[in-house]
C-alpha cells in the first residue's frame, strides 16, 4: 500500500502534506507534457514521494512509471510552495504539496502514450503550450518557457 492510500484511511479527505517531485524533460527545445485523465489538463510527469525515497529517486521512478522513459543527469530547476500548491481533487481529497522540480535533456526509452493516469504525452514548444495547463504546475512550466532556471522559494 502506498503512503497516500495509507494516510487517507486515517484522515479521509482532510489536507495531507506531500512532497511532489517532477521533471521537466526537454528535447529539441520542446517540453514533454502529459494529458491527465483525472483533471483533463496538461502537466509534466512526476509524482508524490514515498517514505524513504530521495527527491531524485521519486522523480525518476514516477517519470518511468508514467512515461516509460529512464532519466539521467538531473539538475534542480526550482522549489515551489505556497497557496498555489494546495489542491482539492475531484474525489474531495485535499493536499498541500511542496514541489521539487528537476530538469533534464538526458533520457531514453520508448515513450508510452497511455497509462493509468495519462491519455497522451506530447512535446510542446514554448510558443505552443496548451491553455489548460495544470494550475499547480503552471508556474514552473511558465518559468521553463521564460527560461527561469533558479530555485524559486515562495
Rounded CA gap, 94 and 135, in Å?
15
Domain boundaries, the chain: 3-145
Q: How confident is the model over 80-121, as pLDDT tens digits?
A: 999 889 989 889 999 999 999 999 999 999 999 877 788 999
CA angle 150, 67, 110 (to 5 degrees): 115
Q: Tell me the percentage of the chain whose pLDDT exceeds 90.
A: 79
Region 45-60: mean pLDDT is 96
Task: Identify the pLDDT of residue 152.
Answer: 52
In CATH, which superfamily holds the domain spanning 3-145? Nucleoside Triphosphate Pyrophosphohydrolase (3.90.79.10)
Q: Tell me the percentage of the chain whose pLDDT exceeds 70.
A: 95
Write down the pTM of the prediction: 0.91
Report DSSP state, residue 49.
P
Amino acid at each position: 500500500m502506498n503512503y497516500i492510500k495509507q494516510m487517507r484511511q486515517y484522515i479521509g479527505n482532510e489536507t495531507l502534506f506531500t512532497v511532489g517531485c517532477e521533471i521537466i524533460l526537454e528535447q529539441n527545445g520542446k517540453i514533454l507534457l502529459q494529458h491527465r485523465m483525472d483533471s483533463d489538463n496538461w502537466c509534466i510527469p512526476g509524482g508524490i514521494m514515498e517514505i524513504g525515497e530521495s527527491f531524485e529517486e521519486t522523480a525518476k521512478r514516477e517519470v518511468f512509471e508514467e512515461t516509460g522513459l529512464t532519466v539521467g543527469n538531473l539538475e534542480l530547476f526550482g522549489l515551489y510552495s505556497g497557496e498555489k500548491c494546495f489542491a482539492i481533487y475531484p474525489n474531495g481529497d485535499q493536499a498541500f504539496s511542496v514541489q521539487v522540480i528537476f530538469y533534464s535533456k538526458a533520457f531514453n526509452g520508448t515513450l508510452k502514450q497511455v497509462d493509468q493516469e495519462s491519455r497522451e504525452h506530447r512535446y510542446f514548444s514554448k510558443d505552443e503550450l496548451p491553455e489548460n495547463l495544470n494550475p499547480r504546475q503552471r508556474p514552473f512550466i511558465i518559468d521553463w518557457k521564460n527560461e527561469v532556471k533558479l530555485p524559486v522559494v515562495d
